[in-house]
Structure 1
């Protein structure tokens, strides 16, 4: 069953690496998929395409400058039409020599997609060589991990093109816009305190998305575009509000009574309610 869009590869690939213990997010600084794991210093990076081609290979080589753990992911078409589907052993050998991992996704009509890892990243590169490759772009790797850490969730789909991405900066701007909608008008300092966004003043002054309007010195209001943006991202804002309320409730519980069985029961109930509201259970 051939896929129409490469974004269809994202869900099964994400689930596969989550089973390996990674926290996964999509479209982080131009990478289709990025994963982090507590026991691994370097990030996992996956680039996806419907078919194996030179563009995908070049993307993979660029990502090796950020991390030695880079996979290429493509669909494996069961119809076996086309030259690529008949040359997996050669493509695997090529990726292995370049230090790239290669995995395929096979889709079925009546059962879940199958992930097949044809080779792991950097299988034939000595450890010293891998470290040197990663160090060449240490600054870019730090930016990648910073962007990953500052996102509250995974609100994009890997492989997306020509779509507005929810970046860490956009999330901060949305939090500022949400607070501004509540207040009507406010100063940058008040918004920074209310939202916890230290860069609120810079976000308001730059007004990159056109969501804010300066009334007077130190006074801003929300524009029509800002209201529309809040409507478009309502689900994300609801998730953030639920998390903040949960944290606040737990903070109050701990400060008042300490840890006991009732506290643990409350934590379990709150977590269960959050998962239900966000569609995870």
Structure 2
């Protein structure tokens, strides 16, 4: 069963690595899937495409600047035997020589997708991988750790992502939604966002307005932003109450981006 969009590969890959002890987030600093495990000091990075191609390969090489644990993931379409991007033995050898892992996802009409690792990063035949740039790797992990959950779908294109910064802006907006005109100090205490004053002043999304010296309020754009990402906000309340965000809520309360 062929996939129509590469985002369809994300759910089975996420489930596959979560079953192996990883905490998974999508679209972290342009990486399709990032996983963090207590057993590894480096993040797992997976880049996805419907088919194996040169852009995917180049993307994987670039991600080796962030981690040595980089996989390429593509669909394994049983109806395209012999196609150049389905020559798995040769493609696997290429990935091994470049120090990249390779994963295939086979989808079926009546049963769950099958995820298979054809080679792992660091397998034999690997050439020396590019040196990890620690500063960029640190930024990747910072963005991962600052997010409260996984609100995006890996492989998304042209979609507004729920980044760590957007989450903080949402927390600031939520404080103003119930508090009217507030000072940055009050907003910081209510939201738990340490750099609330900086977010208010930069006003990147146009959600806040300065009413007077040291007093801020929510704009109509801010109210619309809270409505658009209400699923994220409700997820925080569910997590605080000890429920699994999205699973215990009715379907209409789930996040829509």
TM-score interval, smaller chain? over 0.9
| Number of aligned positions between the proteins | 252
2:97 — aligned with what?
97
2:182 pairs with 1:186 = yes
2:198 pairs with 1:202 = yes
Structure 2 distance, partners of 1:220, 1:125, is 59
Please say which structure displays the higher CA radius of gyration. Answer: 1
Please state how far the C-alpha of 1:185 moved relative to its aligned partner: 1.1
Instruction: Pick from 131, 155, 162 the counterpart of residue 151 of structure 2.
Output: 155
CA contact (8 A) 2:24 2:33 kept: yes
2:131 — aligned with what?
133
Structure 1 distance, partners of 2:124, 2:165, is 38
Deviations 1:195-252 (A, max 9, x none): 11001000000000000111111111111111111001111101112333x3xxxxxx
2:137 pairs with 1:165 = no
1:254 — aligned with what?
none
Aligned-residue Cα RMSD (Å) equals 2.1
Structure 2 distance, partners of 1:32, 1:46, is 6
User: 5+ residue gaps in structure 2?
Assistant: none
Q: TM-score normalised to the size of structure 1?
A: 0.85
Structure 1 distance, partners of 2:205, 2:246, is 30
2:170 — aligned with what?
174
Please state how far the C-alpha of 1:80 moved relative to its aligned partner: 1.7
CA contact (8 A) 1:76 1:85 kept: no
1:258 — aligned with what?
none
Structure 1 distance, partners of 2:195, 2:64, is 32
1:74 — aligned with what?
74
User: 5+ residue gaps in structure 1?
Assistant: 247-269
1:256 — aligned with what?
none
2:229 pairs with 1:233 = yes
Instruction: Tell me: CA distance 1:23–1:63, structure 2 relative to 1, closer, same or farther (3 Å).
Output: same
CA contact (8 A) 1:213 1:221 kept: yes
